[in-house]
């Protein structure tokens, strides 16, 4: 029976998230290892990538394993070959599959048919690996989660969903500011409220960016137009007028607040030009930490580190 898949950040219990972050911090300090010698990861991508592909390939290399990248043209997922057939063929060759796709249903169908673990490297519904990297970055800069306030300014997209659920899981208070019609999906709100009640953190949402940013320890934003939404770009720009993260907005937060963005950024749009180069910006720590949390994720999934991956 295969190990558990990682399709959503909620596939990990709060204590498992903390243990995985501990693994990631240890592996970041230790550097290259041979934990996954003889193991191979398939990267099945329907979307272009910089950080996702590079971090997964390097994660396997630094753990002594191998990664094989499969482009959209090579696989034709669900078009040239059915998702079920791709999953079963890959399972005969590799030890795990990481998929970056347009639809959460594609990730779930791959996991249903695969005989090896499947990792959600990004879908329209969630970006759980990014959320792990964000938590590691916050912990490195703040040393805790409970008592902190994270303000997310922008679209209730896949990044926001995973981050909201991750924050609520570990006791980090989360406030979302977005215009009407661009909030988090109702099912994500319901789940986040459940998790926040258990961790005794605050989960709230508003259409006022200043209200969200006031007294925040972390201010986070992401692009207003994700891949696949290009036709709606102009409408989105109009809807998000007044939601730019800039010096005025950051001044409402605590003096030692950090600014986060998962990248790629549209400088001068969702974030003011130059702000991500300021001392408060930790965006390149976030980018680096994708490598370390994914090393821990893969090692725990396929090799075993501080805790056995739940199966």
Cite the active site residues: 100, 127, 130, 222, 262, 290
Answer yes or no: is 146 a known binding residue. no
Answer yes or no: is 54 a known binding residue. no
Answer yes or no: is 289 a known binding residue. no
Q: Please tell me the number of Cα atoms within 13 Å of 294 on its side-chain side.
A: 33
Answer yes or no: is 306 a known binding residue. no
**Phi, psi (degrees; rounded to nearest 5) at 5:** -80, 165
Answer yes or no: is 157 a known binding residue. no
Answer yes or no: is 130 a known binding residue. yes
Residues 6+ apart with CB under 8 A from 248: none
Answer yes or no: is 22 a known binding residue. no
* Cβ atoms 259, 153 nearer than 8 A: no
Answer yes or no: is 262 a known binding residue. yes
Answer yes or no: is 104 a known binding residue. no
Q: How far apart, in Å, are the Cα atoms of 252 and each of 143, 204, 211? A: 22, 18, 9
* Beta sheet of 218-221, edge-to-edge order: 203-206, 173-177, 149-153, 218-221, 258-261
Answer yes or no: is 301 a known binding residue. no
Please state the residue numbers annotated as binding site.
100, 127-130, 158, 222, 226-227, 262-263, 290
Binding-site annotation, residues for L-ornithine: 158, 222, 226-227
Q: Which residues are annotated as a binding site for carbamoyl phosphate?
A: 100, 127-130, 262-263, 290
């Amino acid at each position: 029976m295969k190990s558990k898949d990682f399709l959503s950040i909620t596939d990990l219990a709060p204590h498992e998230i903390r243990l995985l972050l501990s693994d990631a911090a240890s592996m970041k300090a230790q550097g290259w290892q041979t934990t996954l010698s003889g193991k191979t990861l398939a990267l099945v991508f329907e979307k272009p990538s910089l950080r996702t592909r590079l971090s997964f390939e390097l994660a396997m290399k630094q753990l002594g394993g191998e990664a094989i990248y499969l482009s959209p043209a090579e696989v034709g997922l669900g078009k040239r070959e059915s998702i079920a057939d791709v999953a079963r063929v890959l399972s005969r060759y590799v030890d795990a599959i990481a998929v970056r796709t347009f639809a959460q249903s594609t990730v779930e169908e791959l996991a249903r048919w695969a005989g090896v673990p499947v990792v959600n490297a990004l879908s329209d519904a969630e970006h759980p690996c990014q959320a792990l990297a964000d938590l590691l970055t916050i912990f490195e800069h703040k040393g805790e989660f409970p008592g902190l306030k994270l303000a997310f300014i922008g679209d209730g997209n896949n990044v926001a969903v995973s981050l909201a659920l991750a924050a609520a899981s570990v006791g980090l208070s989360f406030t979302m500011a977005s215009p009407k019609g661009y909030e988090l999906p109702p099912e994500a709100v319901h789940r986040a409220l459940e998790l926040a009640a258990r961790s005794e953190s605050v989960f709230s949402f508003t259409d006022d960016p200043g209200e969200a940013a006031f007294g925040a320890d972390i201010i986070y934003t992401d692009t207003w137009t994700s891949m696949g939404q290009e036709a709606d770009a102009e409408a989105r720009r109009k809807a998000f007028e007044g939601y730019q993260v800039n010096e005025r907005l950051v001044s409402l937060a605590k003096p030692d607040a950090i600014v986060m963005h998962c990248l790629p950024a549209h400088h001068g749009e969702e974030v003011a030009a130059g702000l991500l180069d300021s001392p408060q910006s930790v965006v390149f720590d976030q980018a680096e930490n994708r490598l370390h949390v994914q090393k821990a994720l893969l090692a725990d999934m396929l090799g075993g580190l501080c805790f056995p991956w739940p199966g």
